[in-house]
Amino acid sequence: MTTLVSQLRTGSPAFARNLAAYAELRRDVNDVRGLAIAGGGAKSLATHASRGKLTARERIHRLLDPGTPFMEIGQLAGHALYADAVPSGAIVTGIGRVRGRLCMVMANDATVKGGTYFPITIKKQVRAQAIARENALPCIYLVDSGGAFLPMQEDIFPDEHHFGRIFRNIAEMSSMKLPQIAAVMGSCTAGGAYIPAMCDETVIVKGTGTIFLGGPQLVQAATGEQIDAESLGGADLHTRLSGVADHFANDDLQALAMVRNIIARSRVTSPLAPPSAPRDPHYDPSELAGVVNANPKEPIVAAEILARLLDASYFVPYRERFGPTLLCGTGEIGGFPVGVLINDGVLYSESAQKAANFIELCSQTGVPLVFLHNIAGFMVGREYEAGGIAKNGAKMVNAVSNARVPKFSLMIGGSYGAGNFAMCGRAFGPRLMGMWPNARTSVMGGEQAATVLATVRQDQLRKAGGATAGMSAEEVETFKDPIRKHYADHSGAVYIASRLWVDSVVDPSDTRGWLSLGLAMSAASPKEETRFGVFRM
Ligand code: COA
């Protein structure tokens, strides 16, 4: 084993500059977090409380084992996406511990447009269910929702991954013996009624919980029957007459206690304890923000990151002297073994081949993979094309795609183009995908995209007007500026997270906790055998 030794001078002006620059990035993200956590604003919060209801986050807090963490999935989802503000996508989702078991919790936020489902709400709930399925987590649905956000019905109803997928997921996960538990703590209308109706066991709260396919307004319009919500689908009706719900709770707190007991009675296994005792790194993870250079064009030194992420700063490098622009090796995080891949420069054929081999080895031994992206892309140029960089990069992408060990993916710097794919971008099924506040991701960097498009434009103009035609140097800059701005505005952490292209924006100093919980969650999931396809040699 090798104990990594940091060369970082934490007393230097450069370190102080980096920390100061990071504080600003954090502030930007935290401002948006604040909006997400605030929910639907003072007026709707007051109305909500006046009905004797806890907020979505209060409910989750009371549901989880006291003092245990809650890992939110998609906290920033929905930010600045629609004309209406939809903080946290109108649903709070995440992983937490209930009576010792890790569970996926999904709680509608009724203070945001009545808890109705926008497209991002559906996407977020379907993503939460996918994480639950892959990691064999019980699902708890704290329902308080007006169902479809009707003005956007075509974006939430008809397609493959739209509303219906939530119900299909409930049925399929139930068949996989993953408990599906609902607590109806507010409205639960139309399609939404299928959440409690399809769950294995359902609790409903007196006075506030209602379940119906058509609400009072619709019933009156359709049949002329005049009826209030409680008589149409309240707790008494559903626990005494219809059997749509199983347990009658007097209030939110009692309902949450009942859910906790249901989970305790279920046969799900508890998360496995780590095989080794967790050890702190030798260097303080709070220094990670100072490792990230204030100038994003400057490199991030991979060993400095690992020294602050791995237990006891121990790292066993794999082929250290071969393809050194990608560090591969094993260590532990929170007592769980991991195979780490972290960029330390551009990807070459050698680094990609090494990575493919390393992924094969980890798959053989069942070691989870952690990808830390800081990658501009693969090396370009005739020499590299002739050396087969496309096929060697493809080997890495192939290995990443088929590796059936749990994969975790975190962008710690740039993550561009095929480099993102090779480092297990979103499309490659990481169990969790996150990015640091400084990270950026797009198909290529803004400067490169502006240059490519300016060159294409120049070529067109010269073809049409002769060799002397085309843009002047000044015109080229004017042409490039909006492209640079577009890329800058559409590649940062808030933009990416608001669309749920990552699960979380993770602060560098929280990274060990984020990965440890992810590793604990994946440790209890069924093991799958890896089968690789054809590698082009
Ligand atoms: N689609 C779009 N917007 C909806 C909505 C829906 N299905 N249901 C509620 N809203 C909006 C309201 O217009 C209101 O918007 P505003 O804050 O801009 O005025 C906001 O959500 C809150 O609704 P409100 O009725 O004031 O809150 P409430 O807490 O008293 O009641 C509901 C919430 C969900 C119980 C109630 O609005 C309702 O019954 N909605 C209809 C539900 C329905 O029939 N859905 C069918 C889906 S297929």
Q: Where are the domains of the chain?
A: 11-40+275-443+492-537, 41-264, 446-490
Angle in degrees, 0-180, between the axes of helices 163-175 and 119-135, rounded to the nearest 10 = 20
Which backbone phi and psi does 453 adopt, to 5 degrees?
A: -65, -35
- List the pLDDT tens digit at each of the 537 positions of the chain: 589 999 999 999 999 999 999 999 999 999 999 999 999 999 999 999 999 999 999 999 999 999 999 999 999 999 999 999 999 999 999 999 999 999 999 999 999 999 999 999 999 999 999 999 999 999 999 999 999 999 999 999 999 999 999 999 999 999 999 999 999 999 998 878 999 999 999 999 999 999 999 889 989 999 999 999 999 999 999 999 999 999 999 999 999 999 999 999 998 877 778 999 999 999 999 999 999 999 999 999 999 999 999 999 999 999 999 999 999 999 999 999 999 999 999 999 999 999 999 999 999 999 999 999 999 999 999 999 999 999 999 999 999 999 999 999 999 999 999 999 999 999 999 999 999 999 999 999 999 999 999 999 999 999 998 878 889 999 999 999 999 999 999 999 999 999 999 999 999 999 999 999 999 999 988 899 999 999 999
Mutate to test the pocket of ligand 1, among 50, 53, 82, 113 (most ligand atoms within 8 A of CB): 113
Q: Which of 522, 512, 430, 500 is nearest to 137 (CA)?
A: 522
- Model-wide pTM > 0.85: yes
Which amino acid is it at 164? G
On whether the 41-264 domain is CATH 3.90.226.10, my answer is yes
Domains 11-40+275-443+492-537 and 41-264 share a fold: yes
Q: How far apart are CA 389 and CA 371, in angstroms?
A: 20
Q: Are 193 and 211 in contact (CB under 8 A)?
A: yes
Q: Report angle CA 332, 338, 340 to the nearest 5 degrees.
A: 110
Hunting for tokens 């005792």 — which residue is that?
277
User: Which residues are registered as beta bridge partners of 440?
Assistant: 414
Q: What is the Cα–Cα distance from 307 to 464, expressed in whole angstroms?
A: 57
| Residues lining ligand 1, Cβ inside 6 A | 113-114, 116, 146-151, 187, 189-191, 215
The reply to whether CATH 3.40.50.261 applies to domain 11-40+275-443+492-537 is no
Span from the CA of 146 to the centroid of ligand 1 (angstroms): 6
Give 15: exposed, middle or buried? Use CB within 10 Å, 0-12, 13-18, 19+.
Answer: middle
C-alpha span between 351 and 48 (Å, rounded) = 55
CB contact at 8 A, 325 and 347? yes
Task: Return all residues near 335 (Cβ < 8 A) that are at least 6 apart.
Answer: 273, 274, 275, 276, 277, 278, 279, 311, 516
Tokens standing for residue 357: 């081999």
Distance of CA 283 from the midpoint of ligand 1 (Å):
51
Distance CA 218, CA 480 (A): 54
Nearest-CA residue for ligand 1 atom 38 is 146
Calculate how far, in angstroms, residue 114's C-alpha sits from the geometric centre of ligand 1.
5
Atom 2 of ligand 1: nearest residue by CA position: 149
